[in-house]
Amino acid sequence: PPVHLQMEGNLGLEQMKCRAKGGSAGFKVAILGASGGIGQPLSMLMKMNPLVSLLHLYDVANTPGVTADISHMDTNAVVRGFLGQQQLEDALVGMDLVIIPAGVPRKPGMTRDDLFNINAGIVKTLCEGIAKCCPKAIVNVISNPVNSTVPIAAEVFKKAGIFDPRKLLGVTMLDVVRTNTFVAEVLGLDPREVDVPVVGGHAGVTILPLLSQVKPPCSFTADETNYLTSRIQNGGTEVVEAKAGTGSATLSMAYAAVKFAESCLRGLRGDASVVQCSFVASQVTELPFFASKVRLGHHGVEEIYPLGPLSEYERAGLDKAKEELAASINKGVAFAKK
Ligand code: NAD
Ligand code: LMR
């Protein structure tokens, strides 16, 4: 049939449940905000992922075109498109993993927090749908400001009585991807050989790369540490300024989101030792949410690792990060409780 007929608008919830259960081996993944700058390359890369059997593309605009386009790729995953709020529930039923890149991006001169007024409501509505239709799904939150949208999601899930902290993960993977790239540049290494934990959150000073824990082990001069920390904390702004009003990071973000989603799926599959950094409900610090290394497994986050030994520079950075993070978390919680 013509591919636009694969849009699932006419199917009822029960029919969707049957279809979703009947998919071939592999995981069922929904992308909310699939037509956007991140959503499109993310959808394409997920369609290429052999762990995915069913890919649901949801947006409030343009999903028929994106779905038609991506569905012609000769890979395993079946692709279905869903358009508009009235199709949100159909998009979500039966999903194992939901990835959320919906929402507005920054323009030059804006902070991520300037996006709060629009994106907080979008994330809240989408999470209400998740709570109703796939309460056991793993949720990857990309929409900014992540430091607030993850607490909003948690509050929505608590209100619905389904909150499982192991299943809610803020995506900070782009910070790790950038850090590995910039550190490799300084060290003259292949970025694929470099692994650096990035903890805290996902905005400005809350992004705290632990350069004292770089693998392979190495040491930096004070100038190198300052340069790298500042470049990593401002990596998003570097892209926003280069794009000059047309948006923020989309391609590197889609790459990072797929790397992170694949780790979540490998965890669900039962692979051993799948470890990534993520902004999650945490007891690593006194804050209720914090990004650090987590081990991913059958239920999502199975283990949260402590920060490990920090340099004096990193301890000072941690204090600054916690101050801003506390305010962003409280803002998100207050919004969701309103
Ligand atoms: P974009 O404007 O290109 O795309 C956003 C998409 O969301 C659009 O297709 C839009 O139609 C859709 N959308 C809007 N409201 C929606 C709703 N209620 N339900 C479903 N879809 C909806 O933006 P983008 O560049 O893809 O960025 C998306 C978000 O990701 C922004 O908030 C941005 O700041 C954030 N982001 C986060 C990271 C990170 O590291 N976590 C990195 C880059 C961007
Ligand atoms: C990023 O880090 O690239 C994203 O959070 C987008 C932004 O606004 O910087």
Q: Which two tokens stand for residue 171?
A: 């995506």
Please state, for a pLDDT cut of 70, what percent of the chain lies above it: 93
Q: How confident is the model at residue 25 (pLDDT cuts 50, 70, 90)?
A: confident
Q: If you measure from the C-alpha of residue 216 to the centroid of ligand 2, how many angstroms do you get, rounded to a whole number? A: 27
Mean pLDDT of 144-151: 98
**Is the C-beta atom of 239 inside 6 A of ligand 1?**
no
Q: What is the pLDDT of residue 266?
A: 98
Q: What is the pLDDT of residue 5?
A: 36
The yes-or-no answer on residue 202 being catalytic is: yes
N-to-C CA span, the chain:
46
**Is the C-beta atom of 336 inside 6 A of ligand 1?**
no
Closest to 136 (Cα-Cα) out of 333, 299, 265, 2: 299
Nearest ligand 1 atom, CA 170: 41
ipTM of the complex model: 0.99
Nearest residue CA, atom 4 of ligand 2? Answer: 236
Q: How far apart are CA 196 and CA 30, in angstroms?
A: 29
Q: Which two tokens stand for residue 7?
A: 């849009």
Q: How confident is the model at residue 67 (pLDDT cuts 50, 70, 90)?
A: very high
Which of 4, 56, 72, 202 is an active site residue? 202
Q: DSSP 3-state assignment of 78?
A: strand
Q: Which two tokens stand for residue 196?
A: 């650096």
**222-262 tens-digit pLDDT:** 999 999 999 999 999 999 999 999 999 999 999 999 999 99
Q: Which two tokens stand for residue 158?
A: 């608590």
- Residue showing tokens 């803020």: 170
DSSP string across 86-146: GGHHHHHTT-SEEEE--SPPP-TT--GGGGHHHHHHHHHHHHHHHHHH-TTSEEEE-SS-H
Entry pTM: 0.94
Q: How far apart are CA 59 and CA 25, in angstroms?
A: 26
Closest to 176 (Cα-Cα) out of 255, 274, 271, 266: 255
**Is the C-beta atom of 240 inside 6 A of ligand 2?**
yes
Within 8 A by CB and 6+ apart from 128, the residues are 156, 160
Q: How confident is the model at residue 55 (pLDDT cuts 50, 70, 90)?
A: very high
